Amino acid sequence: MVLFRGHSRYDLFMATQKTRQPVPYDRPTTYQICVQGQIDQTWSDRLEGMTIHLASMEGEPSITTLEGELSDQAALAGVLNTLYEMHLTVILVKRLNS
Protein backbone atom coordinates (compact mmCIF):
# COMPACT_ATOMS: atom_id res chain seq x y z
CA MET A 1 0.00 0.00 0.00
CA VAL A 2 1.37 3.38 -0.98
CA LEU A 3 0.02 6.78 0.05
CA PHE A 4 0.50 9.74 -2.25
CA ARG A 5 -0.10 13.18 -0.88
CA GLY A 6 -2.61 15.08 -2.98
CA HIS A 7 -3.47 18.75 -2.72
CA SER A 8 -5.34 18.54 0.58
CA ARG A 9 -5.77 14.81 1.18
CA TYR A 10 -4.01 11.49 0.88
CA ASP A 11 -4.93 9.13 -1.96
CA LEU A 12 -4.58 5.39 -1.50
CA PHE A 13 -2.86 3.58 -4.36
CA MET A 14 -3.01 -0.21 -4.54
CA ALA A 15 -0.29 -1.58 -6.80
CA THR A 16 -1.57 -5.14 -7.26
CA GLN A 17 -4.43 -7.40 -6.28
CA LYS A 18 -2.14 -9.08 -3.73
CA THR A 19 -1.65 -5.82 -1.79
CA ARG A 20 -5.41 -5.46 -1.27
CA GLN A 21 -5.28 -8.00 1.56
CA PRO A 22 -5.43 -6.48 5.04
CA VAL A 23 -1.96 -5.83 6.41
CA PRO A 24 -1.71 -6.44 10.16
CA TYR A 25 -0.07 -3.50 11.91
CA ASP A 26 0.58 -5.20 15.23
CA ARG A 27 2.75 -8.15 14.12
CA PRO A 28 6.47 -8.50 13.45
CA THR A 29 7.34 -7.76 9.84
CA THR A 30 10.61 -7.51 7.93
CA TYR A 31 11.28 -4.16 6.27
CA GLN A 32 13.83 -2.71 3.89
CA ILE A 33 14.42 1.04 4.15
CA CYS A 34 16.74 2.96 1.82
CA VAL A 35 17.98 6.46 2.63
CA GLN A 36 20.26 8.90 0.90
CA GLY A 37 23.34 9.41 3.03
CA GLN A 38 25.56 7.39 5.32
CA ILE A 39 24.66 5.74 8.62
CA ASP A 40 27.40 4.31 10.80
CA GLN A 41 27.09 0.66 11.89
CA THR A 42 27.01 1.80 15.52
CA TRP A 43 23.52 3.23 14.96
CA SER A 44 22.01 -0.26 14.56
CA ASP A 45 20.80 -0.36 18.18
CA ARG A 46 19.11 3.04 17.82
CA LEU A 47 17.43 1.74 14.64
CA GLU A 48 15.77 -1.29 16.31
CA GLY A 49 18.68 -3.60 15.49
CA MET A 50 18.28 -3.30 11.72
CA THR A 51 21.30 -4.28 9.65
CA ILE A 52 23.02 -1.40 7.90
CA HIS A 53 24.52 -1.71 4.41
CA LEU A 54 26.24 1.23 2.72
CA ALA A 55 26.45 1.45 -1.06
CA SER A 56 28.34 4.21 -2.80
CA MET A 57 29.39 4.79 -6.37
CA GLU A 58 31.99 7.33 -7.36
CA GLY A 59 30.37 10.66 -8.11
CA GLU A 60 26.98 9.57 -6.74
CA PRO A 61 25.41 10.19 -3.32
CA SER A 62 25.79 7.35 -0.83
CA ILE A 63 22.76 5.13 -0.24
CA THR A 64 22.28 3.26 3.02
CA THR A 65 19.95 0.26 3.17
CA LEU A 66 18.46 -0.85 6.47
CA GLU A 67 16.92 -4.30 6.70
CA GLY A 68 15.42 -6.21 9.57
CA GLU A 69 12.38 -7.36 11.46
CA LEU A 70 10.43 -4.74 13.38
CA SER A 71 7.96 -5.72 16.09
CA ASP A 72 5.07 -3.64 14.70
CA GLN A 73 4.29 -0.44 12.81
CA ALA A 74 4.97 1.64 15.93
CA ALA A 75 8.58 0.39 15.76
CA LEU A 76 8.64 1.30 12.04
CA ALA A 77 7.41 4.80 12.89
CA GLY A 78 10.20 5.06 15.49
CA VAL A 79 12.86 4.13 12.95
CA LEU A 80 11.45 6.59 10.41
CA ASN A 81 11.36 9.34 13.06
CA THR A 82 15.00 8.64 13.92
CA LEU A 83 15.95 8.92 10.23
CA TYR A 84 14.02 12.19 10.04
CA GLU A 85 15.88 13.52 13.08
CA MET A 86 19.14 12.55 11.35
CA HIS A 87 18.07 14.72 8.35
CA LEU A 88 18.27 11.77 5.94
CA THR A 89 16.08 11.53 2.85
CA VAL A 90 14.03 8.33 2.82
CA ILE A 91 14.01 6.84 -0.67
CA LEU A 92 12.20 3.54 -0.09
CA VAL A 93 10.22 1.71 2.59
CA LYS A 94 9.36 -1.83 1.57
CA ARG A 95 7.61 -4.59 3.52
CA LEU A 96 9.43 -7.82 2.68
CA ASN A 97 6.97 -10.26 4.28
CA SER A 98 3.56 -10.16 5.93
CATH of the domain at 50: 3.30.70
Enumerate long-range contacts of 58-63, CB under 8 Å, 24 or more apart: 61/36, 61/37, 62/36, 62/37, 62/38, 63/34, 63/35, 63/36, 63/91
DSSP H or E stretch at residue 80: helix 73-85
Domain region containing 37: 22-95
Interval 12-62: pLDDT, tens: 444 445 556 676 778 899 999 999 999 999 999 999 999 999 998 888 889
Please indicate, yes or no, whether the overall pTM of this predicted structure exceeds 0.85. Answer: no
Would residue 55 count as lying in a domain? yes
Looking at the structure of the chain, the number of domains it has is: 1
Would residue 71 count as lying in a domain? yes
Would residue 14 count as lying in a domain? no
Would residue 36 count as lying in a domain? yes
Would residue 4 count as lying in a domain? no
Calculate the alpha carbon distances from 80 to 17, 35, 46 in Å.
27, 10, 11
Would residue 51 count as lying in a domain? yes
